[in-house]
């Protein structure tokens, strides 16, 4: 069975439209998400809190999760072991987690502590009354978690090689930059759109003015894509150290995408994170978090007005959803120069034998 997406971009056709419209395709894609690491939070999101619920993980993996910070950071199930109530819907700063339904308590390590009216219950408490723990790892203050994640070292090496010099762990969470959007489009269309700068001159006139479009470039690596935005003359850029592979260039932004839906956008002011969460074939939720490293650079350059860029992208993506739902449209072709990131994503998304077998 040939690949759905030819490895040679010059010969390849884009994803068949049912990837964007069918329940079954969405279910297949989602079933793979448990093999990946996902952004949980940046350390600075804790502030004074000891526990943070992760609503986006519930959307991505179908698993309500909670991050706790005590002697170490842990990712725990946010589901009470009594009758399954969600334990925390909001951040909290207590030393003990208490289920709001019937008052069961747990330590921040997930261990069962107390339960009212359970004196006569036999063989209680047992191991299964503790909250289950999920794998976590941390890179530069960014905490990742997952349910059964596979090796992530390739991605982390790529991030470290490129951005290891940025003091990301000391960035501060800026609550005012948080956004939670719901769009009427498939999650993969949102990712497609993110993975090319091809549309910048057409869709983002202001952004186009601050980026050097001819030198915009896309690099692919295992499990992800990096786009490097080069600043136009006199526009703000990173002050790169000699150790950076891009030393000598005027980099305005690093746009990292990691499969399936994590976008790490680094600007001279700090980091903007987009989390793409599928809801249904034609509905997607996007969470935005902002982490500031240099306040003096806010409002400048490629990362100046993210709300406007987002609005422009959403309008395009929602209209494209209507287009790919048409009975006339099946699939298209790629620009070898400008759509390598989209091609790479489509290769990852369609790479399963189970999917091949369905065709």
Report the alpha-carbon distance of residue 186 to residue 164 in Å, rounded.
33
Q: Is 231 a binder of ligand FES (CB under 6 A)?
A: no
Alpha helices in the chain (DSSP H): 18-21, 23-33, 55-61, 153-163, 187-194, 200-203, 205-210, 306-324, 340-349, 353-358
Binding mask 313-342 for Fe ion (x = CB under 5 A): x-----------------------------
CB environment 313-349: b (16+ within 10 A), e (fewer): bbebbbebbeebeeeeeebeebeeebbbbbbbbbbbb
85 lies in the site for ligand FES, by CB under 6 A:
yes
Select the residue interacting with ligand FES from 13, 32, 82, 199 (CB under 6 A). 82
List the single partner that 283 binds among ligand FES, Fe ion, none, CB under 5 to 8 Å by kind: none
Q: How would you class 255 by CB atoms within 10 Å of its CB: exposed for 0-12, middle for 13-18, buried for 19 or more? A: buried
CB of 87 to ligand FES, least distance (A): 7
Q: For residue 293, give the nearest of 265, 259, 251, 331 by alpha carbon.
A: 265
- Count other C-beta atoms under 10 Å from residue 30's C-beta: 16
Q: Report if residue 102 touches ligand FES, rule: CB under 6 A.
A: yes
Q: Mask of contacts with ligand FES, 40-79, x by CB under 6 A?
A: ----------------------------------------
Mark the segment that binds ligand FES (CB under 6 A) among 60-68, 98-106, 152-160, 198-206. Answer: 98-106
The answer to the question of residue 124 lying near ligand FES (CB under 6 A) is: no
| 202 near ligand FES (CB under 6 A) | no
Residue 113 near ligand FES by CB under 6 A: no
CB nearer to ligand FES: pick between 131 and 200: 131
Q: How far is CA 65 from CA 20, 106, 320, in A?
A: 27, 14, 33
Binding site for ligand FES (CB under 6 A): 80, 82-83, 85, 99, 101-104
Binding site for Fe ion (CB under 5 A): 313
């Amino acid at each position: 069975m040939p690949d759905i997406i030819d490895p040679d971009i010059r010969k390849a056709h884009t994803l068949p439209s049912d990837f964007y419209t069918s329940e079954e395709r969405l279910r297949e894609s989602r079933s793979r998400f448990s093999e990946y690491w996902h952004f949980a939070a940046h350390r600075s999101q804790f502030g004074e809190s000891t526990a943070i619920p992760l609503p986006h993980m519930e959307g991505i993996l179908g698993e309500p999760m909670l991050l706790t910070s005590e002697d170490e950071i842990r990712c725990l199930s946010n589901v009470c072991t009594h009758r399954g109530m969600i334990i925390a819907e909001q951040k909290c700063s207590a030393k003990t987690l208490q289920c709001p339904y019937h008052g069961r308590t747990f330590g921040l390590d997930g261990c069962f502590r107390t339960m009212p009216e359970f004196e006569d219950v036999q063989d209680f408490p047992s191991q299964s009354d503790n909250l289950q723990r999920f794998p976590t790892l941390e890179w530069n203050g960014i905490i990742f978690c997952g349910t059964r994640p596979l090796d992530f070292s390739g991605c982390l090496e790529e991030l470290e090689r490129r951005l290891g010099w940025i003091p990301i762990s000391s960035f501060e969470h800026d609550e005012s930059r948080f956004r939670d959007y719901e769009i009427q489009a498939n999650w993969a269309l949102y990712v497609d759109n993110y993975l090319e700068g091809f549309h910048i001159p057409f869709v983002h006139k202001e952004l186009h003015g601050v980026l050097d479009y001819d030198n915009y470039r896309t690099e692919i690596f295992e499990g992800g894509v990096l786009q490097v935005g080069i600043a136009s003359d006199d526009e703000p850029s990173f002050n790169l150290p000699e150790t950076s592979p891009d030393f000598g260039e005027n980099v305005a932004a690093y746009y990292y995408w990691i499969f399936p839906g994590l976008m790490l956008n680094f600007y001279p002011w700090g980091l903007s994170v987009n989390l793409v969460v599928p809801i249904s074939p034609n509905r997607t939720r996007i969470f935005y978090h902002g982490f500031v490293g240099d306040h003096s650079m806010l409002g400048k350059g490629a990362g100046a007005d993210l709300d406007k860029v987002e609005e422009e992208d959403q309008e395009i993506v929602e209209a494209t959803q209507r287009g790919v739902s048409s009975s006339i449209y099946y699939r298209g072709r790629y620009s070898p120069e400008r759509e390598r990131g989209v091609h790479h994503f489509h290769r990852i998304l369609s790479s399963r034998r189970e999917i091949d077998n369905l065709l």
